[in-house]
Amino acid sequence: MPMIQITMLSGRTAEQKRKIAQRITDVMVEETGTVREGVAVAFYEVSKESYARGGVLISDK
């Protein structure tokens, strides 16, 4: 059972996450032969104040 975890900045709509989950599931089914029901996708959302790149908070950019 594949478990895919996605960490991204908060602010995506439920519809966007729905589409992402569907497309990732499609790829896992196509490439690994697993059944759709066996693919789990979890979204972890972080605020711009809780995410940094290159030592700089995203909220400071």
CB atoms within 10 A of CB 12: 15
Catalytic residue among 1, 2, 25, 38: 2
CATH 3.30.429.10 fits 3-51, yes or no: yes
- Binned at pLDDT 50, 70 and 90, residue 8 comes out as very high
Average pLDDT over residues 2-22: 97
pLDDT of residue 44: 98
Q: Are 48 and 9 in contact (CB under 8 A)?
A: yes
* 2 is annotated as an active-site residue: yes
